[in-house]
Amino acid sequence: MNSWTIRVRLTVLYGGLFFVAGALLLAVTYLLVAQSLDGRVGANPDIAASFTDGAAPWGLTSDQFADTIRQVRAEQQRFRDETMNSLLTQGGIALLGVGGAAAALGWLVAGRGLQPLHRITETAQRIAGADGVGRGLHERIALPGPRDEVKKLADTFDLMVERLDRSFDGQRRFVANASHELRTPLALNRALVELAVTRQGATAEIQQLGESLLAVNDRHERLIDGLLMLADAENAITERSPVDLADVAGHVLDQSAAPALETRRDLRPATTTGDPILLERLTQNLVENAIRHNVPDGWVAVATTTTAGSAILTVANTGPAVPAYEIEALFQPFRRLHRDRIGGGRGFGLGLSIVRAVARAHGGDAQAQPRPGGGLTVTVTLPTPPVPDQ
C-alpha cells in the first residue's frame, strides 16, 4: 500500500466519521424539534368545545370561534412543516459543509502524519539507489519530534544503516590494508629470487626454478594490485580533473601489444571529469580483456564519443561465445567464464568488476552485450562536465 492510498483512506475515514457524527446530531435535533413543535401544535385540542353557544369570546359565536381555532391550528401546522423542512435543508447543507471541511482537514492531517514516513522512504531510496555496494550508507534520517512509534522506526533504521556502514567500511579497509601488507613480502621474494638466478654459478635448474617462482610472484602481485584497485574504486572520488577518454584510450592502445590481432580505432573527443589513474586503469582492463579473451586472427575495436551529455567508451572484440544470461556474472569479483586466452595465463576475474566499480565511482555505469558470432561489446557511460554559464 503506497502513501497516496493511505492518505486517501485516512481522508475518507476522517470525513466519514465527521459526516456520521453530524448526521446523528441532525437526526436527534430533528426529533427533538419535531416533538417540541408537535406538543405546541397539539396543546388544548378541545378548547373550542369548552365554550357554549353565545359564550365565545370577542363577540364571536361558537362556530366562528371554532373556525378561528382551526385556522390558528392550520397556521401552526404550516409553521411546523416549514420549520422542519428548513431544519432538514439547512442542516443537510451544513452537514455537507462539515463533511467537506472534515475531509480537507483529514487530508492535511494525513499528509502531515505521513511526512515522517516520506522522509524514511526517501532516505531508503537514496541509499538503495547509490552507485556501488556500500555507498550511500552515510545517509541518516535523523527524524526530530517526540519518541513515538515512527520516531522509533526511524532511529532503528539509522542504527541499522550505521552498522552496515561500519561493516562495509571495515571490509574495504581490511582489503586495502591486507593488500598493502602483502606487497612487502612479495617484493622481498622477488628480490631474493632475482638475486639467486643472477648469481654466478647458478645452475640451469636453479634458473628454471627462479623463473617459475618469479612467474608465481608476478601473479600474486597482479592479484594484490587488482584488489587494491577494486578497494580504491569503491571509494568516492573526491578530486576530479578533466579527462578525455580518447587520449586515454589512444595511450592504452599504444602500450598494448597484440601483434596477432587487428586493432580498430575510432577515437573522438569524449571529455569527462574524474581520477585520470582510475580511468586509465578502467580502459586498460577493457583492452586487456578484449585481447586476452579473443581468437586467432581476431580483432579489437575501441571507440570513444560524446552523446546526450555522456562520454561513451566502447570496447568490442571477437572471441568465444558468451551466453547472454552469464553477462552479469562477468562483473562480479573472481568470476570468469573462459580460461582459454590469447597468450595463455589465467586471470583473477577482477577486470570487469574493477571497470564497473570505477565507472560507478565516477557517476556512470558499465554494461556488456554478447556479439553475434562470439566476443563482447562493453560500453562505459560517464557524465560529461557541465557547461559553464556564459
Please state the rounded mean pLDDT for residues 301-328.
92
Number of domains in the chain: 3
Same domain for 168 and 62, yes or no, is no
Same domain for 320 and 222, yes or no, is no
The domain boundary residue, chosen from 233, 262, 295: 233
Same domain for 30 and 57, yes or no, is yes
Does residue 141 sit within a domain? no
Does residue 342 sit within a domain? yes
Same domain for 369 and 317, yes or no, is yes
Q: Please, what is the average pLDDT of the chain?
A: 79
The domain boundary residue, chosen from 170, 199, 233: 233
Same domain for 210 and 80, yes or no, is no
137-151, 190-204, 329-343: which has the minimum mean pLDDT? Answer: 329-343
For residue 47, the model assigns a pLDDT of: 52
Please state the rounded mean pLDDT for residues 74-91.
80
Does residue 338 sit within a domain? yes
Q: Does the pLDDT at position 342 exceed 50?
A: no
Q: Does the pLDDT at position 340 exceed 50?
A: no
Same domain for 259 and 367, yes or no, is yes
Same domain for 246 and 358, yes or no, is yes
% of residues, the chain, pLDDT over 70: 80
pTM of the predicted structure, to 2 decimals: 0.54
Please state the rounded mean pLDDT for residues 353-362.
85
Same domain for 166 and 263, yes or no, is no
Same domain for 221 and 263, yes or no, is no
61-70, 89-98, 262-271: which has the minimum mean pLDDT? Answer: 61-70
Q: In this structure, what CATH number is given to the domain that contains residue 218?
A: 1.10.287.130
Q: In this structure, what CATH number is given to the domain that contains residue 257?
A: 3.30.565.10
Does residue 334 sit within a domain? yes
Please state the rounded mean pLDDT for residues 61-83.
75
User: pLDDT confidence of 341, banded at 50, 70, 90?
Assistant: very low
Does residue 199 sit within a domain? yes
Tens of pLDDT, residues 227-256 = 676 666 666 566 788 999 999 999 999 988
Does residue 389 sit within a domain? no
Same domain for 55 and 183, yes or no, is no
Tens of pLDDT, residues 113-134 = 777 777 887 888 777 766 555 5
Same domain for 225 and 256, yes or no, is no
Please state the rounded mean pLDDT for residues 139-160.
82
For residue 213, the model assigns a pLDDT of: 87
Please state the rounded mean pLDDT for residues 95-114.
76
Which positions ≥6 away from 361 have C-beta within 8 Å? 131, 132, 233, 234, 235, 236, 237, 274, 278
For residue 351, the model assigns a pLDDT of: 78
The whole domain housing 272 covers: 241-383
Does residue 135 sit within a domain? no
Does residue 140 sit within a domain? no
Same domain for 332 and 266, yes or no, is yes
